[in-house]
Amino acid sequence: MTDALSLVDDWGPEKIVVVSHQRTKMKGVLVIDNTARGVGKGGMRMSPYVTVGEIARLARVMTWKWAGVDLFYGGAKAGIVADPDSPDKEAILRAFARALSNEVPREYVMGLDMGLTEDDAAIIQDELGDRGAAVGTPDHLGGVAYDRLGVTGYGVAEAADAAAQHLRRPLTGSRVAIQGFGAVGRAAAVRFAELGATVVAVSTARGALHDPAGLDVNALQAARDEHGDDFVTRHSQGSVIQPGQELTVECDILVPAALQDVIDETVAHQIKAELVVEGANLPTSEQAQAVLAGRGITVLPDFVANAGGVVAAAYAMDARYSGFRPDTSTIFETISQRLRANAVTVLEEARRRAATPHIAGRGLAEERVRAAMRSKGRSVQ
């Protein structure tokens, strides 16, 4: 069992709230990591495997992600220990929201992550009777529909394009392998194709699909809509390979866009890409990052590459109590501008410091958070 006090360091967490409800069997946790730059904002996930330690790690990523794109919110994350396919999902969500009514939305605004949908965000708003309690609601409720718009995946491809250009490896004609074909991986694949790249591998929890000559992204989307995750074993293109093998196929750019902790030291030695762009949160270990750096493989960190979602969330936060919908074209334009510029900034800083992009990028984010903590009297440094 995680000792919550052992998670505390110079940055946070400021608050860890563990809640439960016996009738619905709800168990969950909220971690508010650091709010020196603004109210806590981060997604909420539902999985049978949620732990306090996992949510604390993800809350810390949110601290760096907000600071990395220089937007004024704080790092936080929430998780519910439950099966997202449970028939009791709504009751569990409502119990979780009620249990956190002291923190939401004054200290934390709920968002969407693994296992939750736009309608789930609407249920949170309904339970607390406050439009400001959650973002990510459906368009017909005035929300910014992140998954439908594909903002995070779009940003991953934009950041990858900027990084490739900076490294003098043009994206046009590059071979891209993508782990995951959910909300992030699918949207990334679409944008990569639009930018002239060739998608050679994709995967789901059911398996992976590989074609060195390139996969038809539009056909993949249609198959995914028809067959769900099983499309990788029922599609006529390419060859079916085992889950995980998509990480080590021949390619120029690798995008882990599914789960955390998928690239360890062993896998890092097998990767053939020249550029790894982290579409998921925490997909590489520190040891793996060191191995990849030693092999001359550039890694664009998660808090840089997948920050399109937080840019969109910032617009959604502003619009929570507005009668007007945010303009989606403005959101996409801002994502492109911020993530492209930030990718180059972090890679340049890594070169200047002779450090990995993770260390360099986190250093930039830490400087911004530390300045805010000093100004508010929260830090002795």
Active-site annotation holder among 27, 77, 89, 272: 77
Q: For residue 181, how many C-alpha atoms fall within 13 Å in the half-sphere facing its CB? A: 32
Question: Any catalytic annotation for residue 77?
Answer: yes
Measure the CA–CA gap between 15 and 338, rounded to whole angstroms.
30
Contact of 12 with 75, CB cutoff 8 Å: yes
- Which residues are designated catalytic? 77
